Each structure stands twice: as structure tokens, then as C-alpha cells.
Amino acid sequence: MPNYDSISAEDYKTALKSLPDWSREILVLQFQSPRHEITAARLARQLGYRHFIQGNQHYGATAHLVCKVLNVAEPPSNQWFEALSVAHKNNGWIWTMRPNLVEAIKQMGWSSDNLTQRIKTYLLTWNPNRWPWEDLAERSAETLAGKGIIASWSCGNTKSIQPGDRFFLMQVSKEPKGIIGSGWVTTAPHLRLHWDGDKAAAGKECLGVDGEWERLLNPPVDTPLGMQELKKGRLADFNWTPQSSGIRIPDEIATELEEKWAAHVGKTSMSVVTIDAELSAMEGAEKLALVRHRKREQSLRDAKVAEARKLGSGKLKCDVAKCCFDFEAVYGELGRDYAQVHHLKPLADRTKPSQTKLADLAIVCANCHAMIHRGGKCRSLDKLIP
């Protein structure tokens, strides 16, 4: 039996540095749980899987990777989890993270891990039997015409959803069941008036998020992405009819869902990959991450333009000192809302989403933008023009 107690915090840190994001997320979830304890069933639910078996498999695979890096011998009966946790039974197995692993995660800075802010995909649900959507046909027509709509939706008890995350809407309980909508989260979860009319009349609230809906089907007319398709391939591993809204969809399942959804409804913001050389060279989750990142960047650009107009009394001028070029002032209506948005902090790796804020962006004209980056540099806006 390998002596896992002999694995030091420094040893664990060596192994942690080599782990893929999905393994890192598993350990962060366990670390952030009370007493650093977790079960296979709870882990599976938090990762968005249907069965505890997937929780077992992913946790065991993570432990196996750690052992491989550290050259630790295979445990008896393939119980790889023992490399990460001490297990005890209480109506099922409970894994308690080993103290040295806890310390290693603290030293790595994962205790307040930015990975939890990585763009994720969530499943929201709609039960027509409990809430009739009276303006669904109108909303559906708006998205079909290319108009994004902002609307609030219940997210159950899920508080981990972040602005910029992806969501899909599932019609449950009433046929035809299936995916009927998609979009992007625009706010963190917040209390809102309850969606149930009687509860709302009693002053009760529920947790919800606002979202920008890019496509919404009208089931009496449009056919949802149905259960038959959702039971194929990797999609079959996910529970598409959960008891509550706001369930996380694992990345590898989200990738397949995006492809099926795009094929079902036509072009979506996640399927614009045909003319981009950088994107067409990527596959799977890597491509999905970059497209999601760029979608968020577009939203940030629009928000930055709106902010600049507000601060500039309706004008959109270049932020470079001594320039202040205004496209609309020179070109009239043709130049309205035209400007380039510059990252004050360069993005070193476009394939990895980053949490850009409006304060990290600046409005610049095309000439200044070219001069800022000429020779591969990123020059200060204040000193660009002598």
C-alpha cells in the first residue's frame, strides 16, 4: 500500500501545476466544500453529470494523474482517490481532502481560484404547466429577426453563474420537450420577484439572472432540439430534465450541444467559425473557449462605446491625448458609433478567456491604434503624440 501521508505539500504543488482545467476544477470544488469533504454524487451534480459514477471516474482520473506525475505506485483495488483524500462511510463514501493537499491548494492560490470565473454553460428550465409564457411568440420573432432581447430567468439555487456565461433553455414537463433557447448571462444571480404569480403576490422572491437571448423558439410553431437528439453521444450523460433551473453543463457536453443547436436553428453566435483562420485551426473545447471569449469581448466593446458616449455627452472621441478624433463629427451618420476599442492590458493568449473590465479598455481611432501597436509594442495613450 503506497504511503500517501508521505506526499508533502511541495510534492502536491508539483503535481497540481500539470493538471488540466477539469481536474483543477474538481479539486477547487472539494476544497471550497465544508471541511474539504465531498461525495461522488455531489461532485457529479456540481459538474453537471447525471450519475455519481461520473463523479467517481473524474475524481479517480484526477488522482491517477497526480500519482503519475509523482511516480506513486498504483493503490490496491484501483482506489486512486486515496492519493487525494481519506475516505469514510456515512450513508455512502465521503472523501476528506488530505491536509498536505489542502495546504498545497492554499499555496497555489486556488482557494480563491479564478478558474471559478471561467466562462461556463448552464441549463435553465421552463415548465409551461406552471408558468404560461404569454409573449413567447413575439419574443421568438424578435430573435429570429436578429434582435437580441434581455430578459430575467430563475436560476434555482445556483449562485456560481457569472456575467458572460452561456445558457440554454429547456422546455420540461410538457411535450415537445427539448432545448428552445440560448443566450448569454448579463448579470450575477440576484433576488427578483418570484415567477409564480401567487408567490409574487405574497411578496416572495427567487434567485434569477438577466440574459441576452440570441435565439428563442416558439414550440407551438418551431420544433425544439428534442429528447431524441439529446440522448445521443455525450449528450446522453447529462440529465436534461432536472428538478430545478441553473444546472451546470460540463464543457465537453456543452461543446457537442453547441454543434447540435447551431445545426438545428442555423447560425448562432457560437457557430461563426467558417471564415476565421485562427478558429478553423482549432477543435472542440479550445474553439468553444475562444468563441465564447470573443462574444464577451464584443459585449464589452458595445458597453465601452455606450459608456464613452455617456461620459462624452453623446460624443465618441479617441482617448489618446492630443487626438480626440470623432468619426461622426467628420463623416456624419456614416461614422456614428464607429471607433476601435483598445486593450490597455494586452491579451497574451487569445485562447484563454480573461475577465476584462471596462476600465481595461479605451476608445481609439484607427490611426492611433496602429501607432500604439507599431513594432509589436503597446504604447501609453498619454505619451503617444508628442
Q: What is the pLDDT of residues 230-264, one digit of tens each?
A: 999 989 989 999 988 999 998 888 888 988 888 88
Chain mean pLDDT for the chain: 81
Return the C-alpha torsion angle 39, 42, 47, 52, nearest 10: 70
Give CATH for domain 121-265. 3.10.590
Query: Residue 83 and residue 177: Cα distance in Å, rounded?
Result: 43
pLDDT value of residue 262: 81
Average pLDDT for 209-232 = 90
371/232 Cα distance (integer angstroms): 51
Residues 13-27 pLDDT 10s: 999 888 887 788 888
Whether the per-residue pLDDT at 91 is higher than 70: the answer is: no
Average pLDDT on 36-54 reads 77
Place of cell 506525475: 69
Amino acid at 380: S
pLDDT at 12: 93
Average pLDDT of the segment spanning 84-88: 86
Is residue 290 scored above 60 in pLDDT?
no
Q: Is the pLDDT of residue 62 over 80?
A: yes
Per-residue pLDDT, 246: 93
pLDDT classification of 29: cutoffs 50, 70, 90: confident
Q: What is the mean pLDDT of residues 78-83?
A: 80
Greater confidence, 15 or 273?
Answer: 15
CA separation for the pair 90, 115 (Å, rounded): 31
Cα–Cα distance measured from residue 46 to residue 23, given in angstroms and rounded to the nearest whole number:
13
Digit-coded pLDDT (tens) for 101-143: 999 988 887 765 444 445 689 999 999 999 999 999 998 888 8
- pTM (2 decimals)? 0.51
pLDDT at res. 201: 92
pLDDT attached to residue 102: 92
- Work out the average pLDDT over 85-101: 83
Distance CA 269, CA 253 (A): 18
Give me the architecture of the 4-116 domain, per CATH.
Orthogonal Bundle (1.10)
pLDDT at 299: 63
Mean pLDDT of 23-37: 84
| Position 349 pLDDT exceeds 60 | no
pLDDT on residue 301: 74
The pLDDT of residue 149: 80
On whether the CB atoms of residues 84 and 27 are closer than 8 A, the answer is yes
Domain ranges of the chain: 4-116, 121-265, 278-376
Contacts by residues 379-383 (CB-CB < 8 Å, ≥ 24 positions apart): 381/319, 381/320, 381/321, 381/342, 381/344, 382/321, 383/321
The answer to whether 181 and 215 are in contact (CB under 8 A) is yes
When pLDDT is cut at 50, 70 and 90, the band that residue 50 belongs to is low
In degrees rounded to 5, what are phi and psi of residue 143? Answer: -70, -35
Bridge partner residues of 93 (DSSP)? 89
Arithmetic mean of pLDDT, 196-209 = 92
> How is 93-119 classified by DSSP, letter by letter?
EEEEE-HHHHHHHHHHTGGG-GGGGS-
CB-based contacts of 311: which residues, under 8 Å, 6+ apart?
none
Are the folds of 4-116 and 121-265 the same?
Answer: no
As a whole number, mean pLDDT of residues 164-179 equals 92
CA distances from 307 to 32, 152, 324, 337 (A): 36, 23, 16, 12
Percent of the chain with pLDDT over 70: 82
Predicted confidence band of residue 97 (pLDDT cuts 50, 70, 90): very high
Res 78: pLDDT:
65
What percent of the chain stands above pLDDT 90? 30
Q: What is the mean pLDDT of residues 368-383?
A: 86
Closest by Cα among 254, 256, 177, 182 to 214:
182
**Comparing 293 with 142, which gets the higher pLDDT?**
142
Pairing of the two strands 121-126 and 166-171? parallel
59 pLDDT exceeds 60? yes
Q: In Å, how far from its chain's centre is CA 133?
A: 26
CA distances from 244 to 21, 164, 167, 194, 290 (A): 27, 21, 14, 14, 29
Whether 379 contacts 343, CB under 8 Å: no
pLDDT at 352 over 70: no
